[in-house]
A and B are shown apart, each in its own frame.
Chain A
Amino acid sequence: MRANRFNHRGFTLIELMIAISLGMMIVYTATAAFRVASQSVTTANRLSMENAVLRAGYQLAHRDLDFWTNVDDPNDTGRQGLRAGGAERGMPFTKFSVSWPGAVADGEDATGHDPRDTAWAMGNPRVWWRGQMAEKNNTDLRFGRYSLFANRSSTLDAGQLSPISVSTTGGTPSTTTTTTNSYASVGGSISVPHSWAYGQISGLEKALGFYGLCDYLPANAVYAFYVPWNDNCNRGGIPKWLIDPSGSFNNGDGGQQTPRGKYRNSYQTSYGIIDPRSSNDPNTLRDRHRRHYHLGYHSGEGSHNEFNLWSAIADNHLAVRPQNWPGLEVSVQRLIKNTRFVNVARVTWTNALTGQTSEMSFSAFGTTLRGARQQRKQDGGWAKWDNDGSTNDATLDSN
């Protein structure tokens, strides 16, 4: 029998409306689920990318901590600004053969850098500091002239000792007479038995600056020495820049006028490694390595900002990147604080979507300045080092 085409059973309007509603709900739910899942994956991908960038930044920071390439790249002459300088006018990466030449020897007269681990062994009398820890900037030499026992110069003539003023009271009515006694008339030459340790302190400061001076000297070093007396010294012959509380080396804490170790000079103020990109002028860079930075108590935001501006310049490691990649900047800052050598690494990444910047900072232990100099050949490139008996490359420390 032929079916009547009008006899087909269709949907009622109600059925259709219910079916469409249910269908829409299913589609909406599925779409929403898909969107959530898709967004989750997108977010996960974005976070994953940020994590990858963060990991890369972490490892780049450690590379800089160990190889110091952020302030001196041996393979890039454009990033060797801290190698400039001449004799006694060096910076942290100036080679000693230029800034502080000298032959390795055992005597008190030896000058220049001595790389041997026996050179500064504490049982070696040559390294002992022979001075007067209580001698002040305005001393009257009541404890004697220590410059005769140890001096930057191995010989002195009597005229290189400061005159002493002696006051006598007497007569009627009582009067005070001040007599200045100079040794110049006595004449003669004085042989000073110890000069090596003082020569090292003086030489390192001239060759490297303040941070380098602290890096190369042992932890118990006293930062003072005697020289032939002149107007820039106290009466004993200690250069004022080492004991004057208002100098560029010493901070003014407590008004201390005596020789001191690293602690006192680094808990109110700090010395640091200045990034060569902070100035194109070698003299400016040199000066910035010969001053302290106020980073301790009573310091202000301005002094911190100034130091950070010069010492924590970040490398932009993803200057060119796909639009959806995060930005990445890494800096490693080096300073001395409370006698400790502090390396502050900062890894900064920028969210490509929101522009939000996040930073992870940490301090870590790695290659020291001396180690970094020993890694580098004198005129560019990394120095080969092995302990198989073969000859190793000369380094920035070689004389």
Chain B
Amino acid sequence: MPSPARSGTILIIVAGISALLASLTLTFLVRMRADAEEMEAVVRETQARIMLMSACNWIQEASRIGWPAPDNTVGANKETFGWIDVRDNKLGPKFNATNADDPALFPLRTAKRFPMYVMERPPFATQLTASYNPIRTPVSPNPVDYGDANFGKPYLRFPDPQPAVNNGWDQSQPTGTTVSAGSFAEWERGDQRPRSHSINMSWFRVWRESGATFVVTCGAGGSKGFRSWIDMTPNEQAEFNNDQSFFENLRNSEVRLWYRVEWSAAVMAMDYHMLDHSLGRDRDHYMVWPMNASHSEAGHEYRTQTHARNMGGTIRWVQRLITEPTNW
């Protein structure tokens, strides 16, 4: 039996080595934790900057689409013609050219708030089926033999794409007699409830400074884009469990960036790719590849402006603000 002194020595050595290893491990873990926390700041900065893209995309799209029709009827004109209307050069967006300023859909010096999340099913969603009309072979899904009349034929039997909300279309009635318009409103509306894993990450706000100039606030954090507790309605405060300090903690820990941007109805010059060198260079001629020609090359370049589909207009300039503005 080893003497107590010898046992104690071994214990000290083992404990010492263990303590050393434990301290090294702890240092390592603390360092990694600190790195992860610092990385979180970078992630938030990045998310906030992604919101700048989102805000610009919204400004571009909302110049033409996305507003409720005046009478809210199916089939009504839902297109608008720009923050400064291209038809009458007056403020919009508006459905009809009235030759008068009408910014009612987004009044000047007001803000809209956009907490970002993934919807359960966005409006106008289509099914995710990759290929509705696969060419059938003996080894394909729904196989056919080599001798079958359907073998290898690219039959376009199914509409592609199809709405996520079943509209009653049946392959046995390809003319669409079974299609019902009853589900159209549901398809149009979508299921806009947020998916829980995607909420409270980032948001943006748009404040309309003038006709086509906006202050964009980009945020990464859980405040959902609310400026302050007192700006919120009771229902909105309930989203934060009616806990003001909780909201303020969220607000104080998030990243916020402020920008000014200006929208323009301009898309792209109509000479996207002229026929100049395809049809000779000696004389003036008007020939230009037609709209909707493809971008592919086949001997010559068939390129038109429609290849670049920025039909919601463009962002003319972007200015990061040095300090937080009063209104946003």
Inter-chain contact B320/A34, CB cutoff 8 Å:
no
Determine the chain B residues whose CB is within 8 A of the CB of A257 once the complex forms: 276, 281
A380 to chain B, nearest CB (A): 14
Whether, in the assembled complex, B213 has its beta carbon less than 8 Å from a beta carbon of chain A, the answer is: yes
Determine the chain B residues whose CB is within 8 A of the CB of A117 once the complex forms: 84, 210-213, 262-263, 316
Inter-chain contact B326/A220, CB cutoff 8 Å:
no
Q: Which residue of A lies closest to B264 (CB)?
A: A218
Whether, in the assembled complex, B88 has its beta carbon less than 8 Å from a beta carbon of chain A, the answer is: yes
Inter-chain contact A55/B28, CB cutoff 8 Å:
no
Given known contacts A51-B35, A136-B281, A386 and B325 CB-to-CB distance under 8 angstroms: yes
Selected contact of A370 from candidates B215, B286, B316, CB within 8 Å:
B316
In the complex, per-residue mask of A137-150: 1 if CB is within 8 Å of any chain B CB, else 0 = 01110110000000
Whether, in the assembled complex, A20 has its beta carbon less than 8 Å from a beta carbon of chain B, the answer is: no
Selected contact of B327 from candidates A339, A371, A387, CB within 8 Å:
A387
Q: Which residue of B lies closest to A122 (CB)?
A: B265
Whether, in the assembled complex, B209 has its beta carbon less than 8 Å from a beta carbon of chain A, the answer is: yes
Inter-chain contact B320/A41, CB cutoff 8 Å:
no
A215–B95 alpha-carbon span in the complex (Å): 31
Whether, in the assembled complex, B219 has its beta carbon less than 8 Å from a beta carbon of chain A, the answer is: no
Q: Is the interface of A mostly helix, strand, loop or mixed?
A: loop
In the complex, per-residue mask of B1-43: 1 if CB is within 8 Å of any chain A CB, else 0 = 0000000000001000100110011011001101100110110
Given known contacts A117-B84, A259-B271, A339-B268, A254 and B276 CB-to-CB distance under 8 angstroms: yes
Inter-chain contact A370/B268, CB cutoff 8 Å:
no
Determine the chain B residues whose CB is within 8 A of the CB of A264 once the complex forms: 271-274
How many pairs of A and B residues are in contact by the CB < 8 Å rule?
217
The residues in A between 120 and 147 inclusive whose CB is less than 8 angstroms from any CB of B are 120-124, 132-136, 138-140, 142-143
Determine the chain B residues whose CB is within 8 A of the CB of A383 once the complex forms: 322
Inter-chain contact A375/B270, CB cutoff 8 Å:
no
Whether, in the assembled complex, A231 has its beta carbon less than 8 Å from a beta carbon of chain B, the answer is: no
Inter-chain contact A263/B273, CB cutoff 8 Å:
yes
Inter-chain contact B28/A44, CB cutoff 8 Å:
yes
A76–B322 alpha-carbon span in the complex (Å): 17
A106–B166 alpha-carbon span in the complex (Å): 55
A262–B283 alpha-carbon span in the complex (Å): 23
| Interface locus among A172-180, A196-204, A303-311, A361-369 | A361-369
Whether, in the assembled complex, B321 has its beta carbon less than 8 Å from a beta carbon of chain A, the answer is: yes
In the complex, per-residue mask of B106-126: 1 if CB is within 8 Å of any chain A CB, else 0 = 000000000000000000000
B285 to chain A, nearest CB (A): 6
Whether, in the assembled complex, A261 has its beta carbon less than 8 Å from a beta carbon of chain B, the answer is: yes
Which of A40, A41, A122, A368: most chain B CB closer than 10 A? Answer: A122
The residues in A between 184 and 209 inclusive whose CB is less than 8 angstroms from any CB of B are none
The residues in B between 85 and 115 inclusive whose CB is less than 8 angstroms from any CB of A are 85-90
Inter-chain contact A136/B21, CB cutoff 8 Å:
no
A124 to chain B, nearest CB (A): 5
Whether, in the assembled complex, B49 has its beta carbon less than 8 Å from a beta carbon of chain A, the answer is: yes
Determine the chain B residues whose CB is within 8 A of the CB of A371 once the complex forms: 259-260, 317-320
Q: Which residue of B lies closest to A135 (CB)?
A: B284
In the complex, per-residue mask of B250-290: 1 if CB is within 8 Å of any chain A CB, else 0 = 00000000011011111111111110111001111110100
Selected contact of A261 from candidates B53, B264, B269, B286, CB within 8 Å:
B269
Whether, in the assembled complex, B200 has its beta carbon less than 8 Å from a beta carbon of chain A, the answer is: no
Given known contacts A62-B49, A122-B82, A136 and B284 CB-to-CB distance under 8 angstroms: yes
Q: Which residue of B lies closest to A117 (CB)?
A: B212
Selected contact of B209 from candidates A51, A59, A387, CB within 8 Å:
A387
Whether, in the assembled complex, A325 has its beta carbon less than 8 Å from a beta carbon of chain B, the answer is: no
In the complex, per-residue mask of B208-225: 1 if CB is within 8 Å of any chain A CB, else 0 = 011111010000000000
The residues in B between 198 and 256 inclusive whose CB is less than 8 angstroms from any CB of A are 207, 209-213, 215
Whether, in the assembled complex, A52 has its beta carbon less than 8 Å from a beta carbon of chain B, the answer is: yes
A356 to chain B, nearest CB (A): 20
Given known contacts A34-B20, A256-B274, A364-B49, A122 and B210 CB-to-CB distance under 8 angstroms: no
Which of A51, A120, A140: most chain B CB closer than 10 A? Answer: A120
Inter-chain contact B268/A219, CB cutoff 8 Å:
yes
Chain B: interface residue total (CB-CB under 8 A): 75
Whether, in the assembled complex, A118 has its beta carbon less than 8 Å from a beta carbon of chain B, the answer is: yes
Determine the chain A residues whose CB is within 8 A of the CB of B52 once the complex forms: 365-366
Whether, in the assembled complex, B310 has its beta carbon less than 8 Å from a beta carbon of chain A, the answer is: yes
Selected contact of A44 from candidates B32, B262, B285, CB within 8 Å:
B32
Inter-chain contact B286/A134, CB cutoff 8 Å:
yes
Given known contacts A45-B31, A117-B212, A261-B270, A219 and B84 CB-to-CB distance under 8 angstroms: no
Whether, in the assembled complex, B45 has its beta carbon less than 8 Å from a beta carbon of chain A, the answer is: yes
Given known contacts A52-B38, A117-B213, A386 and B326 CB-to-CB distance under 8 angstroms: yes
Determine the chain A residues whose CB is within 8 A of the CB of B278 once the complex forms: 254
Determine the chain A residues whose CB is within 8 A of the CB of B262 once the complex forms: 117
Given known contacts A117-B84, A122-B264, A123-B89, A134 and B316 CB-to-CB distance under 8 angstroms: no
Inter-chain contact B267/A219, CB cutoff 8 Å:
yes
Whether, in the assembled complex, A247 has its beta carbon less than 8 Å from a beta carbon of chain B, the answer is: no
A53 to chain B, nearest CB (A): 11
Whether, in the assembled complex, B179 has its beta carbon less than 8 Å from a beta carbon of chain A, the answer is: no
Which of A121, A136, A370, A375: most chain B CB closer than 10 A? Answer: A121
Whether, in the assembled complex, A18 has its beta carbon less than 8 Å from a beta carbon of chain B, the answer is: no
A388–B213 alpha-carbon span in the complex (Å): 15
Q: Which residue of B lies closest to A124 (CB)?
A: B89
Inter-chain contact B318/A368, CB cutoff 8 Å:
yes
A122–B265 alpha-carbon span in the complex (Å): 6
B12 to chain A, nearest CB (A): 13
A374–B85 alpha-carbon span in the complex (Å): 26
A124–B212 alpha-carbon span in the complex (Å): 14
Given known contacts A367-B320, A386-B325, A122 and B35 CB-to-CB distance under 8 angstroms: no
Determine the chain A residues whose CB is within 8 A of the CB of B34 once the complex forms: 48
In the complex, per-residue mask of A364-397: 1 if CB is within 8 Å of any chain B CB, else 0 = 1111111110110000001111111000000000
Q: Which B residues have a C-beta under 8 Å from some C-beta of A?
A: 13, 17, 20-21, 24-25, 27-28, 31-32, 34-35, 38-39, 41-42, 45, 49, 52-53, 56, 82, 84-90, 207, 209-213, 215, 259-260, 262-274, 276-278, 281-286, 288, 308, 310, 314, 316-323, 325-327
Q: List 5 A-B contacts (CB under 8 A).
A: A48-B35, A121-B264, A263-B271, A339-B268, A370-B319
Given contacts A256-B274, A257-B281, 19 further A-B contacts (CB under 8 A): A37-B25, A66-B320, A121-B212, A122-B265, A123-B87, A123-B90, A123-B265, A133-B271, A136-B281, A140-B283, A222-B271, A255-B281, A263-B268, A263-B308, A264-B271, A365-B52, A385-B321, A385-B325, A386-B326
